[in-house]
Structure 1
Amino acid sequence: MLRSITTRRKSLLRFFLFVLVLLVVRHAFLSPTPSMPKPPSPDDVASSLLAEKGLQLQSLKVIQSLWAGYGYICQLNASPSTKTSPDSSGQTTRSTSTANSGISTPLEGQPGSYILKLITPPPAKPEDESHIRKILSYQVEQYFYTHLAPQMPASIPVAECLASINEHHPDGSSTTAMILSDLKESFPLAGEKREILNATQVHAAIDWLASFHGFWWPKVKTLNRALLVRPPLEEAQLRQLHAQHGKSTMPTTVWLNGGYTYLSTRRSEFSTLAADHDSEWNEPLTDWIEGDVSLAEMVANVLAPREKEQGWGPTEEYVTLIHGDVKSENLFTTASGEDVAFYDFQYTGLGLGVCDLAKLFTCSVPLGLLTSSTRVPRELGMQPEEEALLRRYLAKVKNTARKGYDWDIFVRHWETALVDWLRFQASWGFWGNTEWLEARVRHIIKDENWRQGIIGNRTYAERGSPVA
């Protein structure tokens, strides 16, 4: 009898435990759970920013989704608002305690076509370098359009910023947005793919870059390098330290090292190349040739801009502001192709102008403008076609900056930039004029004078002379 009662009690206990588990599971799957705030819609953001400028949204069309679904690029049409704007004076744009204010421009109150760039990414992950790089790049671009672009003359055309916001939310997410003038109003042809650029457009692109580099060359010395953006992981650590010590949010300016391919931000890809013994470029670029330093690391050291406290680099005298992502997809041209306007300034920062040229020549210039050879040989020195483009650039950049730049020094810088650009492609993936690039670098790294100049950089601080 006692055993029967005990058995029934155990059965009841198992039943109640089973019911309890079902209730817990049901609650976990069916009850509402906290979720991330819904990102603002492009229509809402555009309407809000336009209202501050005395405009109202008429239509909006999404023309592109951003990397990893982080936002949108939209074309919109606006007309003067019939309502009184709370910011009718037009002195400033919307800002918050954690926002960078935009600037008013001559576009204010004018109807027409505009471009909205809206970025609403998820919170940053501490070790996700690609994610952090992208988040920082959008803020860098906003700084360029709101603070640097207004300083540039009309002869170096870029989009004008009508309004912008950069808001950081308590959950770690953010909203960054800009309304820009529509470049296609004056530059109707998109550069798109490499094969579309003709000789006239290539010359116009080189002239624009020379003017841009020449304009900023004498001016970059006024930038406070302590405030420039470091490589992504380093910058994230600095900002975390600031927050832990209760310091104010670090402002985002431009990159200390412009571009997104420099070695200190591509260490994982470089490690992959160093481990790939089947790659032609494994040994010449990653093997140690001077103590424990590889040729690729020496090249990167020559090109890298630095803070004064780190000691000026061997190319410091020639450092300017570079675009950082030069390719035909990032420009528009006039119908004749004689004038261009670049956009997408996410990787703008300090560097040598030849670093912009290296990507342009490889990814956007037709091969026939670099060499007359129908078949690229395994090794290739500078051809007359390539030299003509480089001399065109150099003449204009010197004239714009009103500074000297010896041809031989310029060529050394150019060759060094080509080697560095190939290092990135070899570790990440080749595209563009691959045969030409590899043939040029095979020739360059066999040049004993070039090699000694790069290796000699290790004692630069003692000699104080530029690599030439």
Structure 2
Amino acid sequence: MNTQSNTEQYIQEVFSCEKVTKIETIQKLWSDYGEIARYQIKQENCSKYIIAKTIIPSAQKVHPRGWQSDASHQRKIISYEIEAHWYREYAQSCTESHYVPHCYGVRTFSTLLPQCESIILLSDLDESGFTSRKQRLSVEESKSCIKWLACFHAHFMQDTPVNSWPQGLWPIGSYWHLATRMDEYQAMADSPIKRAAHQLDSMLNNCRYKSLIHGDAKVANFCFSSSGERVAGVDFQYVGGGCGMKDLVYFLGSCLTEYDCLMSYQELVEYYFAELNTAMQVSTVLIDPIEVENEWRPLFYVAWADFQRFLLGWSPSHHKINNFSSEITEKGIAIAS
């Protein structure tokens, strides 16, 4: 049975529907590990659309930038298992302020059978009013996503969490943190940032206040309403524990020009902490948002430097390595020293 047939069969099992039709492939997954597709299901007197994320780990390890390895392959395998667990156990607690797709069902694979499929069935965000996708944002447009991040972090905030938290997710959220990127670290030329890498990593990992972080909060992983005021987050392969500044710096670098970052990053950091404060005031989490802000503010520079460390090993000619990011990185290194 081929991939599409397996997915259609699982959809029929979940919805007990009369007919399932594949409408389109939305995108292929990174390194050709599967696809995200839109399906139409027809039930008695109604029809609706759903999204199926079908993961088939490739036997051929092919990475767009040449980083194919067993470590890279295993990281991807685990990331899909974690995303499935996120949708099963955590996503349902998210609210309108940090909207995520509804999960209808998950069929997971065993890491002992790396060619076996995993299928995640999700609500179609287009039907929920999130019809717009963007690659670049203005400074003002970016605030919708920054508010989403602040509300997400406020919702899951922890004070000195136990070592077992967060259960079933990455202990350290984000796809670039040092422990999972030693090949890239070894590839770096000797430099101040390479020498500071472990200090940067330690500061981020050992902060008192942690939340769940999205871990891959680039603009392409947000869906927007037509007005741009409502935002939904997708793609939770690297969700886990950590400092919210990691999400913020990664997001800003993904959607703003170097000039906009230079001119507006301080305004946007202020906006993030204002929204975090507001969200924490109305949440059930009994943590003082001012204490979180005092700890996290300097970690903005540390998180930026940490991501620059990854880029310099992974793709040293990357366009995100520019004068602004290098200046922020120098501040982060100074704080970590």
TM-score (norm 1): 0.63
Gap change, CA 1:302 and 1:216, over 3 Å in 2: same
> 2:213 maps to which residue?
322
Letter in 2 for 1:212: F
1:51: how far off?
3.2
Q: What aligned pairs does 1:421-440 form with structure 2 within 5 A after superposition?
A: 421-429=307-315, 430-432=318-320, 434-440=322-328
Q: Matched residues in 2 for 1:160 and 1:267: separation?
A: 35
Larger deviation, residues 362-371 vs 421-430: 362-371
The alignment status of 1:285 with 2:193, answered yes or no, reads yes
**AA of the residue aligned to 1:147:** E
Higher relative contact order (CA 8 A, sep 6+): 2
| Residue in structure 2 matched with residue 398 of structure 1 by the alignment | 277
Mapped pair 1:175 → 2:120: no
Say whether the 8 Å CA contact 2:53–2:121 is kept in structure 1: yes
- How far did 1:435 drift? 2.7
Contact 1:201–1:339 (CA under 8 A) maintained in structure 2: no
State the distance in 1 between where 2:3 and 2:160 align.
Answer: 37
> Equivalent of 2:304, from 395, 406, 418?
418
Is 2:30 the counterpart of 1:67? yes
- 1:120 to 2:53 alignment: no
Structure 2: where are the runs of 5+ without partners? Answer: 62-68, 282-287
Moved over 4 A (4+): 122-125, 169-172
CA distance in 1, matches of 2:39, 2:150: 32
- Match runs of 1:89-238 below 5 Å: 111-122=47-58, 128-168=70-110, 171-185=113-127, 186-191=129-134, 193-194=135-136, 197-218=137-158, 221=161, 224-225=164-165, 228=167
**Alignment check: 8 A CA contact 2:176 2:307 kept:** yes
Q: 2:285 maps to what in 1?
A: none
Q: 1:296 to 1:171 in 2, by over 3 A?
A: closer
Offset, 1:121: 1.6
Amino acid at match of 2:198: E
Tell me how far apart the structure 1 counterparts of residues 15 and 185 of structure 2 sit (CA, whole Å).
47
The amino acid that maps onto 2:89 is H
Q: CA deviation at 1:57?
A: 3.6
**Bigger radius of gyration:** 1
Q: Deviation per CA, 1:162-198: give whole Å up to 9, x if none.
A: 122113387553221011111122111112x23xx12
Match for 1:416: what amino acid? Answer: V
Name the residue aligned to 2:12: 50
Structure 2 counterpart of 1:301: 202
Q: Is the CA contact (8 Å cut-off) linking 2:104 and 2:123 kept in structure 1?
A: yes
Instruction: Check whether the contact 1:138–1:346 (CA below 8 A) recurs between aligned residues.
Output: yes
- 1:336 aligned to 2:227? yes
Q: Distance in 2 between matches of 1:169 and 1:327?
A: 28
Q: The residue matched to 2:302 in structure 1 has which SS?
A: helix
Amino acid at match of 2:35: Y
Percentage of identical aligned residues: 25
Whether the 8 Å CA contact 2:83–2:237 is kept in 1: the answer is: yes
Aligned to 2:246, the other structure's residue is in SS state helix
| Matched pairs, number | 319
The code of the aligned residue for 1:73 comes to I
- Find the aligned partners of 1:181 and 1:222 in 2 and give their Cα distance: 33
8 Å CA contact 2:58–2:115 kept in 1: the answer is: yes
Displacement of 1:59 after TM fit? 1.9
Distance 1:223 1:150, change over 3 A: farther
1:288-316 CA-to-partner distances (Å, cap 9, x unmatched) read xxxxxx31111111112xxxxxxxx3x1x
User: Deviation of residue 211 (structure 1)?
Assistant: 0.3
Query: What is the distance in 2 between the residues matched to 1:444 and 1:217?
Result: 23
Aligned counterparts of 2:303 and 2:103: Cα–Cα separation in 1: 32
Q: CA 1:223–1:205 in 2, change beyond 3 Å: closer, same or farther?
A: farther
Equivalent residues of 2:311, 2:321 under 8 A apart: no
Deviations 1:182-225 (A, max 9, x none): 1122111112x23xx12342000000000000100049947833
Matched AA of 1:202: S
1:51/1:81 contact within 8 Å kept = no
Structure 2 vs 1, CA of residues 216 and 443 (structure 1 numbering), >3 Å: closer, same or farther?
closer
Question: What's the RMSD between the two structures over aligned residues?
Answer: 2.5
